[in-house]
Chains A and B, each alone.
Chain A
Amino acid sequence: MNRETRAKRRLILLAVSLPLLLTCAIAGLVIGPVPIPLEDVWNVLIAGDASTYRVILLDIRLPRLLVGMLTGACLAASGAILQSVMRNPLADPGIIGVSAGGGFAAVLVMVALPQLSYLLPAAAFTGALIASLVVYLMAWDKGASPVKIVLAGIAVNALMGALMNGVMVMYSDRVQSVLPWLAGGLNGRGWHHLSFMLPYAAVGLLLTIPAIRSANLLQLGDDSAQLLGQRVERQRMLLVVLAALLAGAAVSAAGLIAFVGLVIPHALRLLIGDDYRYLLPLSIIYGAVLVAVSDTLARTLFDPAELPVGILLACIGAPFFLYLLRRRSNWR
């Protein structure tokens, strides 16, 4: 793949991204148990008509769609950043325990302190941050090597999962409300979910812009990054915090959705290479696209039953993960 095809692909992907996102969004609004004609969507959203579809569109489908897209964007950005920090192409917030940390904190709040549910994203961020710091410190030995980070991440992941199960066993009477969240679903996500997730997600997504350069330099390796004037450990720490913030925001609204952070950056890497100036923004957009499309499918495939989108994504993501493992044999 030479530069011309790669440059062409960047251009195509960039040009297609926003129209595609819009198309998927419209499809998400139109398709459903109650199909809504396109012109009614227009009338309700733009013209402000008070048609019968108003409730379905404004109170159910639109907030759910926005939460889904934001979740996808955050997860994909978080995964892309973690892959640079850990110089490990298999890094994903779901794999190295970051999401699980956020999930544990969120479950704790939901089950033990249900009256504080507005604190959910803050708790999820804190949990994700603590999990990533634990992973990071455990792996620290005059610098943290990617292999150690992944191993520590697996351990933290298992521990957080166990704690989560422990909490749910102790409060088994209240678990019913948590279960769909755990599977990673967008069912019933409304405006208030969006409103408490939005500040965290917005800050996180904005901070990816200054993170681009460090992410680019860190993937050259510690020595090279340091020789190019980077304070490697500090940069890595900041990026870990940012990845935790993004993962925490996603987890607080949508629960444990894995593989978005793996699949999207990877598919893009195969097409356009590893330059984060393109990789990060495109990951954000296509992450949103993936979750929007998947949720639309999850809602309608088995109508009237509804699949949590996390399960559908795992069904797409796991085979992709295995495909990647076989395709790229030069991983260390």
Chain B
Amino acid sequence: MNSAIQTEWLAYENGHFRLAELDVHIPHGRITAIVGPNGSGKSTLLRLMAGLLKPDGGDIIIDGRAAAAYSRTDYAKKLAMLPQSKDMTPDLTVKELVAYGRSPHQRAFRHRLTSDDNAIIDWALGCMRIRSYEHRPFHSLSGGEQQKARIAMALAQKTGILLLDEPTTYLDIAHQLELLTMLAKLNRDHGITIVMVLHDLQQSAAFCHHLIAMRDGEQFASGDPKELLTPRFMRDVFHIHAKVSFADQYPIIVPIIQEEDEKMIIVTNTSQITKGDGEKLIERFDRIGKVEGMEGFLGLEVLFTQNLKEYDEVSIVTRWNSKEDFQNWTRSEAFRESHSGRKTPDYIISNKITFQEVKIRRNPLPPSETVEPIAQ
């Protein structure tokens, strides 16, 4: 499959943000979606391809020719883009705005539209189904209508490639679907190569032939969206757990909502005790430890090992919500009382404390079919 756009070792850096050597392939005459989490470089990739940003390295090849070899106007005849920016748009009617799309084709001092120009403007208005309000001022339109007018302006450039940066953001679901259907029709009827940054993965799989997934400035995966979209993909790219299924070719992604990971602290206090004296330590801890009432205390185990040769070993394992809770215990009145003014008993040979911070992961059990006891 030949490429409409191909990047080779494309690199771009801006502050902390960095696009690593990208080899991206945009198939000719198809619809490609670029997806990925916020800040993964989707828009940057699109803006690089549109020539709005200068790459720090590598090449962009448009229709077999290096992008740098095109003049600005020739580029504007090859590739059009709907930028994401919400620039202040001048006070113009829809048709006047769309007519600006013809400017790369006009000569420097000719402002008058030829009949060809007018035919193309009319075609662009028709494609986006906004002919009925072509004479209304742009500012009086709704968000969805404005978006269509802006796309019509890009269409009026009559390019083989159309890039769109989040065309459906800010639109309601009906307008989103309407817009994507129009774009699909444009691609089908006129063979326009379409590349768009989309946030909705379901839409990207339903409407696009090709998917590019970005993660941390790299191309993480690319290919047929219906094959790419798996629970594993969701986890790797977006760090979420989700089930993916298809209903009549339309993918359905159901996120599994997880509570934030719970954590706890395990403090293990292991003492070596002179042989035969282990019971004494346990008895002492029971007497003066006073741990049960402390805040954040989750539970304790006492492990007593007597089968060692030289000494007994006692481990007192306490579990806490946080390290602070444990430290509060060691600073508590009860604890201080029990430790101050008393010598460490001489049956303790050595003593070691370890902390562990662990995640609590409880696998939810499948719902059991317990039978409710019937009230008598």
Say yes or no for B83: interface residue by CB 8 A criterion.
yes
Would A2 and B100 count as touching, CB distance under 8 A? no
Would A227 and B109 count as touching, CB distance under 8 A? no
Q: Which chain B residue has the least Cβ–Cβ distance from A218?
A: B90
Would B50 and A228 count as touching, CB distance under 8 A? no
| Chain A residues in 8 Å Cβ range of B88 | 87, 221, 332
| Chain A residues in 8 Å Cβ range of B154 | 227
What per-residue 1/0 map shows which CB atoms of A271-300 lie under 8 Å from chain B? Answer: 001110100000000000000000000000
Cross-interface CB contact of B136 among A2, A213, A221, cutoff 8 Å: A2
Known contacts A2-B136, A2-B137, A275-B96; is-contact A224 B111 (Cβ 8 Å): no
Say yes or no for B80: interface residue by CB 8 A criterion.
yes
| Chain B residues in 8 Å Cβ range of A210 | 108-109
| Chain A residues in 8 Å Cβ range of B95 | 3
Would A226 and B51 count as touching, CB distance under 8 A? yes
Say yes or no for A223: interface residue by CB 8 A criterion.
yes
- Smallest beta-carbon distance B85→chain A, Å: 5
How far is A61 from B76 in the complex, measured between Cα atoms in Å?
53
How far is A230 from B76 in the complex, measured between Cα atoms in Å?
9
Question: Which residues of A (184-236) have their CB < 8 Å from a CB of B?
Answer: 209-210, 212-213, 216-217, 219-224, 226-231
| Chain A residues in 8 Å Cβ range of B52 | 223, 226-227
Would A228 and B137 count as touching, CB distance under 8 A? no
Q: Which of A227, A269, A273 has the most CB of B within 10 A?
A: A227
Known contacts A3-B93, A213-B108, A277-B111; is-contact A229 B73 (Cβ 8 Å): yes
Would A226 and B72 count as touching, CB distance under 8 A? yes
Say yes or no for A15: interface residue by CB 8 A criterion.
no
Q: Which chain A residue has the least Cβ–Cβ distance from B102?
A: A228
Cross-interface CB contact of A213 among B73, B92, B103, cutoff 8 Å: B103
| Chain B residues in 8 Å Cβ range of A230 | 72
Say yes or no for A1: interface residue by CB 8 A criterion.
yes
Say yes or no for B87: interface residue by CB 8 A criterion.
yes
- Smallest beta-carbon distance B357→chain A, Å: 44
Known contacts A223-B85, A227-B50; is-contact A216 B100 (Cβ 8 Å): yes
**Range of interface residues on B (Cβ < 8 Å):** 35 or more
Say yes or no for A6: interface residue by CB 8 A criterion.
yes
Cross-interface CB contact of B100 among A212, A223, A228, A332, cutoff 8 Å: A228
Question: Which residues of B (97-135) have their CB < 8 Å from a CB of A?
Answer: 100-101, 103-104, 106, 108-109, 111, 135
Would B83 and A229 count as touching, CB distance under 8 A? no
How far is A61 from B135 in the complex, measured between Cα atoms in Å?
46
| Chain A residues in 8 Å Cβ range of B136 | 2-3
Would B137 and A220 count as touching, CB distance under 8 A? no
Would A229 and B93 count as touching, CB distance under 8 A? no
Q: Which chain B residue has the least Cβ–Cβ distance from A234?
A: B72
Known contacts A3-B135, A221-B85, A229-B75; is-contact A273 B51 (Cβ 8 Å): no
Would B101 and A228 count as touching, CB distance under 8 A? yes
Say yes or no for B89: interface residue by CB 8 A criterion.
yes
Q: Which of A210, A212, A213, A231 has the most CB of B within 10 A?
A: A213
How far is A221 from B87 in the complex, measured between Cα atoms in Å?
6
Would B111 and A213 count as touching, CB distance under 8 A? yes
Taking A3-B93, A221-B83, A224-B100 as known contacts, 13 extra A-B pairs with beta carbons closer than 8 A to each other, sorted by chain A number, are A3-B136, A217-B100, A217-B103, A220-B87, A220-B90, A226-B72, A227-B83, A228-B76, A229-B72, A229-B76, A273-B91, A273-B96, A275-B92
Residues of A within 8 A of B (CB): 1-4, 6, 87, 209-210, 212-213, 216-217, 219-224, 226-231, 269, 273-275, 277, 332
Residues of B within 8 A of A (CB): 50-52, 72-77, 80-81, 83, 85, 87-93, 95-96, 100-101, 103-104, 106, 108-109, 111, 135-137, 153-154, 157
Q: List 19 A-B contacts (CB under 8 A).
A: A3-B95, A3-B135, A4-B135, A213-B103, A220-B89, A223-B81, A224-B100, A224-B153, A226-B72, A227-B81, A228-B157, A229-B73, A229-B77, A229-B103, A230-B72, A231-B72, A273-B92, A274-B91, A274-B92
